[in-house]
Chains A and B, each alone.
Chain A
Amino acid sequence: MTQRMRGGPLEGVRVVELTKVWAGPYVGKLLAFLGAEVIRIESLDSLDVTRTYGVKDINKAPGFQAVNPQKLSVQVDMKKPEGIKLVLDLLSKSDVVVENLRPGAVKRLGLGYDVVKASKPDIVFVSMGMYGSEGPLSYQTGYAPCFAALGGLSLLVGHENSPPGAMNIRYADSTFGAAAAFATVAALLHRRRTGEGQFIDVSAVESMTSMIGDTIMDYSLNDVVHECDGNLHAEMAPHGVYRCANGEWLSIAVSSEETWHSMSRLMGQTNNALFSTHAKRKANEAQLNQAVSAWTADRDVHELVELLQANGVAAAKSQSSVDLVADPHLWARGFYREVTDKTGQAKNIIGPSWKMSREAAITDAAPQLGEHNAYVFGELLGLSAEQQQQFTDSGITR
């Protein structure tokens, strides 16, 4: 049986997930990494699509496994009233429920906030939707790139004088999840201090706009509407990604005259009057970028990073997926770490973004479907072996 008291700041908190795909599961993952016991409720008839993408075996789906380590899984048929009753029984023994089903779906299931609150008055109920659960556009749905487009981000990413190119298509869900996780923990803190639970309504689109707050402020103060401008930055120049030998890319960001002085010395551009101040570098930025590109073009990216860093310049290789998975610093910090699945097989996962004293232990790979039925129905809900068997026989649990 899984060891459920793993340390960490949220040890003892029980979270139930009614979630699908990425954003909702990401909330549970963050809370599990902080020590909470996180139980996914799944139904064979309405599986999370990430359990089936690209594989026949729903217990080996790579996408699902990437986002659901250190969680428990129970399988309940939520189309049957007995199934909903079981879910409510579990929620009455839980602290948090997180849902990101389609707009209105939890209400139709009979698991809306009012119903859950009647079973568990101090529940923290977290509802996640593209536009939030209410309002004139809350009926609309979409995926991650829609959140970034609606939230004002996509228009800001792209080459100069080109149509917008948008953030990477994988960006948005996890940021939305992180915002929801923070609000959840704030509500748990309030509950611990006062005994009061509450309803939290999180908007994916607003979570995106929060990532460009200062850009929005420029419109509020000065009516300035920003558009994509390549890699330009009002306060830094050079500020770009430059091609090096072997088709590799080097990012450089110069934020002071002092660092430019160091860099211009390395480039042999100390006396170039075109670049002598930040204002001049901005005014002559095309020439500046040409000069930097000419300097990097035939050089090795790693040597350049070392040279620039040794001279106080912010520079980093633009890392491909090969570089990332091999990044020794990420391995050394425990960002990549090993867990074990039900069959005893070891598997690498992405760990938390943080290190902290008295961390929660992270030991388990993502659960098989219904792997923890016996624990949840037997130990938590106190059902006898016979009662559990009856539920299984009637297809309520499997």
Chain B
Amino acid sequence: MSAMRGIKVLELSESVSGEYCGKLLSDFGAEVIKLEKPGTGSPTRRLGPFAAKGDDNERSGLFAYLNTNKRSVALDVTTVAGSAALQKLLNHVDVVIDDHASGWLKDIGLDPETLDGKWPKLVLCSITSFGQSPPEDRVHAEDFTVFQASGLGYHTPSGSADDMPPLKGAGRFLTSYEAGLDAALCISASLYEREVSKQGRFIDISKQQVLASRLDYVLGQMVAGDMDVSTNRTQFDLFGPAGIFRCRDGFAYIWMSAPSHWDGLRKLLGDPEWMNEFPERWLERECTPERVKLCRQYIAEWLATQEKEKVAAEAQKLGLILVAVNNAEDLKASPQYAFRKFFAEVNHPVLGAALHPTVPYKLSATPAQITAPAPLLGQHTSSMGEQP
């Protein structure tokens, strides 16, 4: 049984945010029909990572990841015939997801302003960089520039020197994945209401707002006047000896903020002499930059001789918060990910069998599942006649 079985979703998206949103729904069993331009298909088909061999339209690992469980119908909605077909389809679907620039929906004949009158039961979600009607100086955007406009970029990494440039986040599409998640949340909530009210809804997701809202703990204090704002790159930071240190086989992250962490470290290291140079409870009460620097030097010397997984397991058992800094290879080998079956093998007709990362939630009655690989371009076009 799937949580969203029988729910029909039309995906007009052509980039990562909308396709990820569609995937979150299709992996819960929603029937997602993806409209793609005949011949070329979604632009994400031309973004890597690519498999070494195969038809150019079908080699993208990005497309394969984002479009599991969906159907592909080749239809160009920007043509007159395509627009007419779209109008018919709209009478047969529950949800539409789009991630083109503001104004595009109106151009293809699906104006959010007329939604209530023309399609009163439709849930329409538009994901854009800065929301509907962006100001003139925010019309053109990519995930990276939105990340920089949201506050996350300026403060990445923590502890940055003023003369080093702010950095991108992890990977290429973190901004889009975050926005797709909030879009899926709002769509699901709207479907929940619609079961009873029979009413649709227009949802306007701004990627900038999604990222800024993820900072609510600090940004909320700032906008309330409870925390200082400044042009400091370290304005969001917590200070102390916490950080990433090199190990024999990679890196480990250690967190230290409370006496219990200091005590845990003392036990783990067998009460070394150097720890006596620090006053008890210095982490809370006398955490000076000099002490932090000295403490970090000792930790660096020690961790350089350790193996990340092993030292993390020992530390955790003593109440010390220390973890491995993992890469993709480590994750594939993780016993915890294996236990939770986080990776699922998906068989794709061109890419072959590959492990896909799945979702971070396990639902006891309606787990998300990948039952079909991403569709080939136009694979379900012929079935559209009887489909709606």
Contacts and interface: CB of A to CB of B under 8 A. Distances in A.
A221 B354 contact: yes
B17 interface: no
A336 B221 CA distance: 12
Interface residues of A, number: 156
B201 A321 contact: no
Interface band, chain B: 35 or more
A324 B72 CA distance: 40
Contact of B188 (A143, A189, A310, A333): A189
B148 A243 contact: no
Contacts of A352: 209, 213
B326 interface: yes
Interface in A235-270: 235-236, 239-243, 247, 249, 251-253, 255, 259
A103 to B, nearest CB: 11
B332 A219 contact: yes
Nearest to A307: B137
Nearest to A143: B255
A169 B236 contact: yes
B361 A202 contact: yes
B111 to A, nearest CB: 13
B144 A231 contact: yes
Interface stretch (B78-86, B156-164, B271-279): B156-164
Main SS of the interface on chain B? mixed
B214 A171 contact: yes
B3 A157 contact: no
Contacts of B227: 62
A395 interface: no
A388 interface: no
Interface stretch (A104-112, A175-183, A275-283, A369-377): A175-183
Contacts of B145: 251-253, 314-316
Interface string A162-182: 011111111101111011111
A358 B340 CA distance: 38
B130 A329 contact: yes
Given A138-B336, A141-B316, A251-B145, A151 B326 contact: yes
| Most central of B195, B335, B340 by chain A CB within 10 Å | B340
A262 to B, nearest CB: 10
Contact of B134 (A203, A230, A239, A329): A329
B226 A65 contact: yes
Contact of A152 (B193, B223, B242, B327): B327
Contact of A354 (B158, B182, B251, B354): B182
